[in-house]
A and B are shown apart, each in its own frame.
Chain A
Amino acid sequence: MFPRPIDQTSPLTQRLYTIALPIALILWLLPLLGVAVTSVRPASDLAQGNYFGMPSYIAFENYISVFRDSDLGRYMVNSLKVTIPTVIGAVVLSCMTGFALGIYKFRSNLLVFFLFVAGNFVPFQILMVPVRDLTLDLGMYNSWTGLAMFHIAFQTGFCTLFMRNFIKALPFELIEAARVEGVSEIRIFWYIVLPLMKPAIAALSVLIFTFIWNDFFWATVLTTTKETQPITAGLSSLNGQWVAAWHLVSAGSILAALPPVLMFFLMQKHFIAGLTLGAVK
């Protein structure tokens, strides 16, 4: 194990470590803590210049007013409308592409695979103008469908990389045995491979959910009105309305961050498994 486990070191080092740990954490999360405290600070505190002291009382009303007086709730619903279909679409498509590239040996296999991988790293800006035009032509501009369609297509790149590597690590003998039995390829996919892919599907779902929920660029390019804008773009325009109202900006930020954070804490194992795929051989 590296570094040397702390319980094998001198008592002084152990003591120092247990003190250093929480201090490091507080320093690390300082921006977050500041915003969290500000989000429950009453507006009157800010007006009086009380930015850092104890809030004079805990103002949950900031959260209520963010929900009641702004479109934040609607933005969050819009985000869900984009995120959930994207997760489903990208996972379904990549189960199939991953299966095709992970199981079959054909000449252009690696070429197709690397096309997916390379496309996944492309800068968004090179896609921006054509994708916007395409979405306009399809009549999906400024709607959740247009945004979700693009996200599904783009995320298929990353998901294919992920699924293909996962499937490649499955025991191939299972499939060969089935083929000998005369099971059709579609049944092999459905009854043999798919059940084994459950952990990969879970990992990808949480990852994609977080990526799409947090997407800002495409939200600004493909949506314009509050009826369709996801929370990231919405928060950015609310920030324009809430100038100098940091208690509202903070409360809005915390709410916008909540769903992916919950997702992370509930599905931590899958989340990290997905994120670190390839980090170990």
Chain B
Amino acid sequence: MSTRRWPRYFILPLGLLVLWQLWGMTLPARSRAPVPLDVLASAVDLIASGRLPMALLQSLGRVGLGFLVAGSIALVLGLLMGFFRPVERNLDPIIESFRPVAPIALLPLAILWLGTGTPAAVFIVAYAAFFPMIVNTIAGVKGVERRLVQAAQTLGVPQLTILRTVVLPAALPSIFIGVRLAMGLAWMSIIAAELAVGSKGGGGGSGGVGEMMFVFYAYYIELDSIVVCMIAVGLVALAIDHGLRWLQRWLMPWAEQYR
């Protein structure tokens, strides 16, 4: 898309914001409805004080770490499960029986084992990110054209090398779909986990954007700030997805014409 067309994308959202502001100004002052201008003021305050960027950074760090852990396990297991039938037969029942368990349902376990800080949060993120990545990796490996594998076999290339040099790149577009889905889920669950742990007096708070939202809600009832956090969470997710798509095009320049 060309930059010339950008303004058009903003017409509808801006219009809605204006309507929302006008509607908000008709309400009595003691109502807690967050209106755009108040939210904006709150955003400026939160960003300028550095509180929001710090919280976002902490949450992002946890997502990155959890994502890396889950991604490396899912990639290796997924490649092996998709390529070697016996591996899949043995592991599939285990993975499929854990898959429906929501990440947030593991929070009590995570807190008991790992406390309320970063390790528990990373655990939840990794758990959330693991399943979309492994399912899409397996599907991608199974969807690899058999002819490509046969071509490598008739050149005498050993199976494990084929897995790395043929199956992995051929499955990459599908693996990337898993990565994007996983990133969304990971980001979603980190906020949920931090929010659920919240903040306890005398330490033991979760930290991150989730804790910030909890504090605004439970201690100050500042809806404007909560909306700022929500928007920030959404924008970060959007930025991450764009980054991933860019990475995908950079890693797989052939894929657009090929698919």
A and B: interacting chains: no
Binding site for B on A (CB under 8 A): none
Binding site for A on B (CB under 8 A): none
